[in-house]
Amino acid sequence: MQLGAFTLPNALFVAPMAGVTDRPFRKLCKRLGAGYAVSEMVTSRPDLQDSLKTSRRANHDGEAAPIAVQIAGTDAQMMADAARYNIDRGAQIIDINMGCPAKKVCNKWAGSALMQDEVLAIEIVEAVVAACLPHNVPVTLKIRTGWCASVRNAPTLALAAEAAGIQMLTVHGRTREQGYKGHAEHDTVAHIKSRLHIPVVANGDIDSPQMAREVLQRTGADAIMIGRAAQGRPWIFREIAHYLATGELLPPPDLQEVRTWLLDHLEDHYALYGEYTGVRSARKHLGWYAQALPLPAGAAAAFRGRINALTTCEEQLRCVSESLDEWSEPMPGHEYDPQPWRLAA
């Protein structure tokens, strides 16, 4: 798939997830088969651009191209400035967030709340496209199917955004009103795909190789984007890639291989956040990993308990290393759960 000057290696994308898909996690997903990843959203407010959180989010050191940065905001001029600011710091693609239902975002009428005001939404798209054009940076957009059940305006907005110059559109198959409840529907994506000329990406509840294939076939989408199912299971990308290529399911990953991935992830995580924040923010990832791995009953909870009590990088690394060694021993009678992910968000 082509996005501006970039040829993406495959059609498997990592969804932007604030607090989850930071640079270390995106790098690991790309290493394990994802063809493309979008950063966690960064604010367009200039007064917050120098905050530690935003500057960490704008740090793309060592990440494979293309570097896609998602911006969120409500003011067209500020969004254009934010696009330029991030391009100056290495962004090669700018994604506009009109898909996130988080309260913090919606209270400021950003994220998916923008779908309620199509005029402002397109004003923002036009301003960002104009800001990116001189730099040859493609602009992409992420939306939901609509504001609420009675206002499913994604198709109208999609057509207007295409006319305004976006080069790719991602659609999460829920309305803003749904939050993360119910099931994602992909018929709206199929409808939008049939009407647009730019690449369209399907997103929502894709959590297995079989579902990935089904959504691609049903929607005709150019790519799929995976969020929560990759939490603790970044190897889902290579599982899907293998299934799409061969029709066969890969066996669960070797635990010694997982040990290497986790230790590398932790080292990269500490390098970005430092020891105090790094050790604490790594706990959620480690909890998800334990939940996703084929462990005997009670092992994941015991591991989480141990991890949550540790406060240094050295202790956390040692605990992960020793636990993976322990779990690598044969565990008779224990079956791999290919779908450990739960709708927890």
Characterize 276-293 residue by residue with b for buried, 16 or more Cβ atoms within 10 angstroms of its Cβ, and e for exposed. eebbebbeebbbbbbbbb
For 293, residues 6+ apart whose C-beta sits below 8 A from its C-beta are 252, 255, 258, 300, 327
Residue nearest to ligand FMN (CB): 227
* Minimum distance from residue 19 beta carbon to ligand FMN (Å): 6
Q: Which is nearer to ligand FMN, 273 or 288 (CB)?
A: 288
Q: Which helix (H) or strand (E) holds 132?
A: helix 118-132
Amino acid at the residue 208: S
Region of residue 94 (phi > 0: left; psi between -120 and 50: alpha; otherwise: beta): beta
* Minimum distance from residue 175 beta carbon to ligand FMN (Å): 12
* Minimum distance from residue 35 beta carbon to ligand FMN (Å): 15
Which segments within the chain are labelled E, that is strand?
2-3, 6-7, 12-14, 36-37, 42-43, 68-72, 93-98, 139-146, 168-175, 200-203, 223-226
Active site residue 100: yes
Q: Which is nearer to ligand FMN, 96 or 307 (CB)?
A: 96
Binding positions for ligand FMN, rule: CB under 6 A: 15-20, 40-41, 70, 97, 99-100, 142, 172, 203-206, 226-229, 345
Pairing of strands 200-203, 223-226: parallel
Q: Which is nearer to ligand FMN, 57 or 259 (CB)?
A: 57
Q: Which is nearer to ligand FMN, 71 or 313 (CB)?
A: 71
Among 29, 100, 132, 313, the active-site one is 100
Question: Please, are residues 35 and 66 in contact by the beta-carbon 8 Å criterion?
Answer: no
Q: Which is nearer to ligand FMN, 20 or 124 (CB)?
A: 20
- Copy the structure tokens of residue 121: 């939404």
* Minimum distance from residue 12 beta carbon to ligand FMN (Å): 12
Characterize 202-232 residue by residue with b for buried, 16 or more Cβ atoms within 10 angstroms of its Cβ, and e for exposed. bbbbbbbbebbbebbeebebbbbbbbbbbbb
* Minimum distance from residue 184 beta carbon to ligand FMN (Å): 6
* Minimum distance from residue 242 beta carbon to ligand FMN (Å): 19
Adjacent-strand bridge partners of 94? 69, 139
- Copy the structure tokens of residue 344: 């927890």
Distance, CA of 243 to CA of 170 (rounded, Å): 23
CA separation (Å) from 102 to 14, 17, 21? 19, 11, 16
Q: Which is nearer to ligand FMN, 25 or 85 (CB)?
A: 25
Distance, CA of 294 to CA of 253 (rounded, Å): 9
Q: Which helix (H) or strand (E) holds 163?
A: helix 154-163
Question: Please, are residues 73 and 104 in contact by the beta-carbon 8 Å criterion?
Answer: no
Q: Which is nearer to ligand FMN, 228 or 233 (CB)?
A: 228
- Dihedral (CA of 319, 324, 326, 332) sign: positive
Which residues have a catalytic role annotated? 100
